[in-house]
Structure 1
Amino acid sequence: MTQLPPRAPAKKHVRLQERRGSSVALVLDVQSLGAVEPICSIPSNFVSPEDLDIPGHTSKDRYKTILPNPQSRVCLGRAQSQQEGDYINANYIRGYDGQEKVYIATQGPMPNTVSDFWEMVWQEEASLIIMLTQLQEGKEKCVRYWPTKEDTYGPFRICSQEEEERPEYTVRRLAVQHQEECRSVKHVLFSAWPDHQTPESAGPLLRLVAEVEDSLEPAASARPIVIHCSAGIGRTGCFIATRIGCQQLKARGEVDILGIVCQLRLDRGGMIQTTEQYQFLHRALALYAAQLPGEPSP
């Protein structure tokens, strides 16, 4: 079993709550998070192709078995053409305390879905995109959907205004123009996360969560954050669960990890793909808990 990284002693008020079954609760000490329930015990809630009655959607799915849950899928209103249909492989995801449409989890754009992706960003007035995959990881995981300087994607003109290299991720400022209107979008590329695996330590992920918190101005907090990896369920689910868990710990001094994952999978099937990612989620939240100052907010 992977050894947990050393960390400061846990604050007395911090508890990590892990539910077993429907009526039994177990409080785990943050020092013993290696032994966690396998994620295979949580229903995946994958959508079968027969349940997604949308003609022609298969040409826009990166992975044929990873489909958006129908009740929470994003539907494109189509600024460009009603003939294109409303389909994109993306779901609205609830956030802390069940707040609706805090995130949009989606697959990495394909050559024929780049304009759809920007259509969604524009439609949802998103000002922040989190990318959790490299473009190539043995094979193509995502096509490059932003320009080196300036380019057109469907009816959208994208201009790369500035780029800042951080130790663990790259931050870009993009100007997105549609007709006479121009908006600013922040793009954060976190590339040090291997597919189906976990980062070497939880610190970089927590710093990415902090980057998101610093990026959200009050006016932008009501708009969804667009998050994707390649399939939009593994690394994407792990990041969203980490941020929700951090919010729970900060507000309550405890976190229901299993409840978070169950909520995510109701919104998009298969969120957090592997037991290793699930264990890493526990490690990241234990590290965050150990860093919390003082008592939790009332």
Structure 2
Amino acid sequence: SVPISCNASLAVGLSAENKNKNRYKNISAYDHSRVQLVADSSKGQGDYINASFIQGYHKKETFIASQGPSKVILGDFVRLLWEQKSDIVVMLTNLVEQGKQKCEQYWPETTDLELGEIIVKLLSSQVLSDCVIRKLQLIKNQATHTVTQYHFTTWPDKSVPSTPWALVDFQQRVFSQPTNKPIVIHCSAGVGRTGTFIALRNVIKEAEDTGHMDFYTTLCKLRQDRINMIQTVEQFIFLHEAAQVAIACLGTTIASGDLSQKIDELEEKTASGHSKMEK
């Protein structure tokens, strides 16, 4: 079974001063892998944000898995983009899903948006069938930084897209943009859809490198750096399907090993009624 957490310390994120910055009570960032913002007590700015560094398969690729910003941390979220000089932000949730606010809007439609010390300007917006690509400009003290936001719009919360093709195409679009900065990826909690997206990238790079994909080890590694990455068995199965589609597009054959056996094991219910994936 795969524990949802690795028993690492969550002390900073669960502290009295920071717990209101977590969108969900049961999801916060581990101390050892959390992204630390530049603190400035004179402006009431702390160093905590519910976001974690996640290593890509290759050392040159780094991800930041983040929760979708709540009203409380809108300013902190754009500080994250500014301080990390991220060129790419990947959004895997819609702002509202099933009548619930899943993420606050951190970009403007028309008038520039002022979030703390940073002004966000929308330079362009391209609407495609499964995604929207926005060019954002961040402005602080007359300095500027441009970020491309890739917003995938057809992935239901705690579920999976209707077909893997759209996500594979979307991911190829994202990674066709070169960057040497951390890529910020968020959904609502920053674990289910975000974890699945990062895992897909990592197993594809592993396949290119070794000719094999180790889904189970990939999942375990993700959960060492952020709690509950890939939330459901359904998402784990979808990861496998999407990886096979991606590899077929790349023209590589892959030995997927004992995946079906692993899925059977993970779907087994424990005494608590949860599957081994969710316990």
Aligned to 1:178: 140
Cα offset, 1:293, TM superposition? 2.7
Which of 215, 219, 228 is the aligned partner of 1:257?
A: 215
Which of 109, 128, 132 is the aligned partner of 2:92?
A: 132
- Structure 1 residues not aligned, in runs of 5+: 1-40
Equivalent runs, 1:212-291 vs 2, <5 Å? 212-216=174-178, 220-221=179-180, 223-291=181-249
How far, CA to CA, are the matches of 1:293 and 1:208 in structure 2? 18
8 Å CA contact retained: 1:47, 1:66: no
Aligned to 1:166: 128
Cα offset, 1:292, TM superposition? 2.4
How far, CA to CA, are the matches of 2:169 and 2:226 in structure 1? 25
Aligned to 1:144: 105
**Number of aligned residue pairs:** 251
Pick which of 52-61 and 127-136 moved more: 52-61
How far, CA to CA, are the matches of 2:97 and 2:8 in structure 1? 27
Cα offset, 1:80, TM superposition? 8.6
> Does residue 203 in structure 1 map to residue 161 in structure 2?
no
Question: SS at 2:242's partner residue?
Answer: helix
How far, CA to CA, are the matches of 1:101 and 1:78 in structure 2? 26
How far, CA to CA, are the matches of 1:192 and 1:285 in structure 2? 18
The runs of 4+ residues in structure 1 deviating greater than 6 Å are: 46-50
Aligned to 2:261: none
Q: 1:142 to 1:207 in 2, by over 3 A?
A: same
Question: SS at 2:25's partner residue?
Answer: coil
TM-score of the aligned structures, taking structure 2 as reference length: 0.85
Cα offset, 1:289, TM superposition? 2.1
Which structure is higher in RCO with an 8 Å CA cutoff and minimum separation 6?
Answer: 1
How far, CA to CA, are the matches of 2:45 and 2:151 in structure 1? 29
Cα RMSD (Å): 2.0
| Sequence identity (%) | 35
- What are the superposed Cα offsets for residues 67-90 of structure 1, whole Å, 9 maximum, x if unpaired? 101100011114795632111111
How far, CA to CA, are the matches of 2:41 and 2:60 in structure 1? 27
How far, CA to CA, are the matches of 1:81 and 1:281 in structure 2? 45
Equivalent runs, 1:74-89 vs 2, <5 Å? 74-78=35-39, 81=42, 83-89=44-50
Pick which of 53-62 and 134-143 moved more: 53-62
Cα offset, 1:155, TM superposition? 0.3
